[in-house]
Amino acid sequence: MDSTLNIVREEPAPCHIKLSVEVPVESVQAAFKDVEKQFRKNARVPGFRPGKAPRSLLVGHYGERINEEVISKLVRDGVNDALKQEELTPETQPRIDNEENLAVEEDSPFVFACEFDIAPQFELPDYKSLELPEVSADVEDDAVENMIQEILQSRTSYETVERAAEAGDVVQGSYKAKDADSLDVPETAKFLLNGNNTWVALREPEILPGITDVMVGVETGETREFTINFPADFYEESLAGKNLEYSMEVTEVQAPQTPELTDDLAKELGAESADDVKGRIRQNLEMREQQQAAQKQRDQVVQALADQVEFELPPNILARRTYDTLSQLYQNRMSQGQSQEELGGKIEEMRA
């Protein structure tokens, strides 16, 4: 579409543009010519080979479809050209007004209107003289050591030990709650009442609340009876607030075996030595700290500038972001135990 468009530009709301576009008749005629050319290639008109039917018969058979395709082309090209002509960059997809009722005639200009949001326009305050608090990117030795321990913990194995169980161990055995069969518990939660020849870790997260304290000191072959006090906010509602008597027979105790960082282990990790591992970890942590520090400074600059300017927000983007945030807030409160009835009366409060 080469001809200059006739455009009336309005701003019915801040950051919201409406363009009323008139496409000149020569562009309309060119669009008809292009579309009819495409239709003629494959048109099947009785008595004529494809591509040989007279224009009058082609229009008679495919006139409505041709008009629809011409409108689509004029709108598509018209929006693109109008944005270039007006030097606008939409922040939302342009919406065509009354699109289903648009009409086109070959010997008349084609008129349509579109609306969209644009980014706010404002004068950028002075930023070169901003004073920002210094952000440290130093890496402490403890951070390096903690990362090393995480790596070593990931390579922890377990070995059977001939001693009493300690915190951090795992014990194998069978446990059962007394009167378990009389409790109304969902099938998916039955493992909380009865476990046969299973492993129980004496550490967080505990399969049963407080199991670590009651099982520390147990030995292989020992049967121990204990009480589990399920807290009132326990995730399985059928057991929340209940105190149940249990019995567990222990058949094995295993202790964690965490390796030390040696040169041999370093080579397994792809490094040359233990010192090389430490150096790489420090380098990676320093790079991460530098990136985080740079991001903090960028955030500080943005906040400092935002504090100095005021501007309207694009209405459709604001409405969509409001809806997304409200939906997330609603789901968060639902997950915290609030009912739909409770939240129903707080929608306006959350929207605010």
DSSP string across 122-134: -PPPP-TT-----
| Cα angle 144-145-150, degrees, rounded to a multiple of 5 | 100
What pLDDT score does 297 carry? 87
Q: Taking the complete model, does pTM exceed 0.75, yes or no?
A: no
For residue 109, cis peptide bond before it (omega within 30 degrees of 0): no
| Element of type H or E holding 159 | strand 157-160
Tokens matching residue 3: 């001809």
The Cα-based distances of 279 to 62, 114, 193, 260 in angstroms read: 74, 59, 49, 17
142-145-146-151 Cα dihedral, nearest 10 degrees: 170
C-alpha R_g of the chain: 36
Confidence (pLDDT) at 274: 94
**Closest to 13 (Cα-Cα) out of 316, 329, 326, 322:** 316
Q: Within a 10 A sphere around the Cβ of 35, how many other Cβ atoms?
A: 21
Q: Which residues of the chain have pLDDT under 50?
A: none
Report the interhelical angle of 55-86 vs 25-42 (nearest 10°): 130
- E-state strands within 161-291: 170-177, 194-201, 223-229, 243-257
